[in-house]
């Protein structure tokens, strides 16, 4: 399998001035439109490789390779050594048929025993694209979250990171290769407005050429502050979760990929067995330290459904974004083909459908993402 170094080089365009552009013209297209070429390619590769579900064994460590319905707790629990040390501590909690207040108290007590104290992050064990992520500051907030989860559903309580900046690191390694590589690196910024002592939060959002495109999304997540006037110079973060579909801003950071960072990722991912393809959401202290592969705190590890999220940079070109998506799924088929030669059997389509239905049913019950 070839490293996408040539893709990385060719897919960069000369960025326009910040005043000229706040988004790419396709950034907020419906997901299905962007993935139509992927669907066509998938069907073609399925014929070529004689399997419709071959990508679902690219990461044998997790069911369906992490394409859909995967447990975050299960995947992270396989980590040891450097990988385990890099992942922010978390607690898995399965919702029971007990009063939410009673469960919340027990959950906070067990979290404290693992060194996880309020405030902490609470998120679904099964879910994607930032669904249901909440910043929990009080017992009452955790109680409200647990109350909406169905019985038997799992959630994670995770320690807050030491650092604010976040980056998405897309990592690939062929099973026969001694080292992997970073295929994509993307800065993830949660949008912030600055008060002037005169305008309400709604007016500040409307005045921002990018934020106004997601007005209703930001209103939903900032209802209690929507008509509030912030003091001059006071900063207000519109989101907590750095997910693109939730309104975060992504910036292509592939220029910051260095041998030191790649070496650090190889050391970390070498301690997660049978994982070859996915994206890590990582907190870091400074760009300088990131380039050196230092001060990395893993928030989450995502499998086969991951994207090379640099394609959502405002300066990205549609042709290059599609090219990156097609490369991803071609890579998944190649990895799956190798695993098949090692005796791993691709699952049936029904297994994929059942996992998708389960995740979809759970997602309908999750609270609004912060």
Task: Summarize the confidence of residues 296-325 as an average pLDDT.
Answer: 95
| Chain-centroid distance, C-alpha 318 | 21
pLDDT score of 238 more than 80: yes
pLDDT, residue 10, reads 33
Tell me 91's DSSP state: E
Best CA proximity match to 251, nearest among 197, 188, 304, 307 = 188
| pLDDT band, residue 367 (cuts 50/70/90) | confident
Q: Counting Cβ atoms within 10 Å, is residue 101 exposed (0-12), middle (13-18) or buried (19+)?
A: middle
pLDDT, residue 186, reads 97
List, in sequence order, every residue forming a beta bridge with 136; answer none if it has no partner.
120
Task: Summarize the confidence of residues 110-125 as an average pLDDT.
Answer: 96
pTM of the entire predicted model: 0.88
Instruction: Determine phi and psi for 138, rounding to 5 degrees.
Output: -135, 165
Best CA proximity match to 304, nearest among 275, 337, 338 = 275
pLDDT, residue 11, reads 37
Residues, the chain, total? 370
pLDDT, residue 4, reads 43
Q: Which two tokens stand for residue 157?
A: 């309580």
Task: Summarize the confidence of residues 287-299 as an average pLDDT.
Answer: 98
H or E, element range at 135:
strand 134-136
For residues 162-194, b (16+ Cβ closer than 10 Å) or e, as one string?
A: ebebbbbbbbbbbeeeeebbbbbbbbbebbebe
pLDDT score of 211 more than 50: yes
The most confident of 16-30, 159-173, 207-221, by mean pLDDT: 159-173
pLDDT, residue 17, reads 44
The pLDDT tens digits for 43-84 are 999 999 999 999 999 999 999 999 999 999 999 999 999 999
> Residue 152, by phi and psi: left (phi above 0), alpha (psi -120 to 50) or beta?
left
The pLDDT tens digits for 183-193 are 999 999 988 89
Task: Summarize the confidence of residues 121-138 as an average pLDDT.
Answer: 90
pLDDT score of 18 more than 80: no
Q: How far apart are CA 192 and CA 248, in angstroms?
A: 10
Residue 116: how many other CB atoms lie within 10 Å: 20
List, in sequence order, every residue forming a beta bridge with 156; answer none if it has no partner.
92, 123
Q: Which two tokens stand for residue 172?
A: 């690939």
pLDDT score of 239 more than 90: no
Contacts of 139 (CB under 8 A, 6+ apart): 104, 105, 108, 118
pLDDT: is 123 or 17 the higher one?
Answer: 123
> Which residue in this structure is represented by tokens 């064990």?
125
pLDDT, residue 157, reads 98
Q: How far apart are CA 195 and CA 234, in angstroms?
A: 5
pLDDT: is 369 or 228 the higher one?
Answer: 228
Average pLDDT for the chain:
91
pLDDT, residue 20, reads 54
The pLDDT tens digits for 259-288 are 999 999 999 999 999 999 999 999 999 999
| Chain-centroid distance, C-alpha 109 | 28
Q: Which two tokens stand for residue 342?
A: 């090692």
Task: Summarize the confidence of residues 244-251 as an average pLDDT.
Answer: 81
Task: Summarize the confidence of residues 157-166 as an average pLDDT.
Answer: 96
| Chain-centroid distance, C-alpha 32 | 18
pLDDT score of 7 more than 90: no
pLDDT score of 204 more than 70: yes
pLDDT score of 257 more than 50: yes
| pLDDT band, residue 1 (cuts 50/70/90) | low
CA trace torsion 50, 51, 52, 58 (10° rounding) = -130
Q: How far apart are CA 116 and CA 156, in angstroms?
A: 11
* 211 and 203 Cβ atoms separated by less than 8 Å: no
Q: How far apart are CA 155 and CA 124, in angstroms?
A: 4
Residue 198: how many other CB atoms lie within 10 Å: 10
């Amino acid at each position: 399998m070839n490293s996408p170094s040539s893709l990385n080089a060719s897919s960069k365009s000369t960025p326009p001035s910040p005043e000229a552009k706040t988004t790419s013209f396709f950034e907020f297209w419906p997901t299905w439109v962007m993935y139509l070429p992927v669907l066509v390619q998938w069907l073609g590769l399925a014929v070529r490789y004689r399997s419709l579900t071959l990508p679902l064994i690219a990461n044998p460590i997790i069911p369906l390779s992490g394409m859909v319905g995967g447990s975050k707790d299960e995947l992270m629990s396989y980590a040891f050594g450097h990988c385990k040390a890099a992942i922010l501590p978390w607690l898995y909690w399965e919702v029971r048929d007990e009063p939410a207040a009673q469960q919340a108290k027990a959950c906070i007590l067990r979290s404290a025993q693992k060194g996880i104290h309020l405030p902490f992050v609470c998120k679904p064990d099964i879910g994607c694209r930032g669904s249901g992520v909440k910043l929990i500051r009080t017992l009452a907030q955790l109680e409200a979250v647990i109350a909406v989860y169905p019985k038997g559903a799992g959630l994670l309580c995770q320690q807050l990171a030491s650092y604010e900046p976040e980056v998405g690191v897309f990592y690939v390694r062929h099973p026969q290769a001694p080292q992997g590589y970073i295929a994509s690196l993307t800065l993830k910024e949660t949008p912030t407005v600055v008060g002037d002592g005169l305008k309400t939060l709604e007016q500040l959002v409307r005045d921002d050429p990018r934020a106004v495109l997601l007005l209703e999304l930001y209103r939903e997540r900032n209802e209690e502050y929507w008509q509030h006037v912030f003091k001059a110079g006071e900063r207000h973060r519109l989101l907590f979760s750095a997910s693109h579909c939730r309104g975060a801003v992504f910036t292509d950071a592939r220029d910051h990929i260095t041998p030191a960072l790649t070496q650090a990722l190889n050391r970390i991912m070498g301690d997660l067995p049978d994982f070859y393809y996915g994206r890590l959401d990582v907190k870091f202290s400074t760009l300088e330290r990131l380039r050196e592969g230092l001060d990395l705190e893993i928030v989450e590890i995502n499998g086969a459904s991951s994207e090379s999220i640099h394609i959502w940079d405002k300066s990205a070109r549609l042709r290059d974004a599609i090219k990156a998506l097609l490369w991803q799924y071609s890579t998944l088929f190649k990895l799956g083909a190798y695993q098949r030669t090692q005796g791993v059997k691709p699952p049936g389509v029904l297994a994929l459908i059942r996992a998708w239905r389960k995740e979809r049913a759970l997602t309908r019950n999750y609270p609004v993402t912060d």
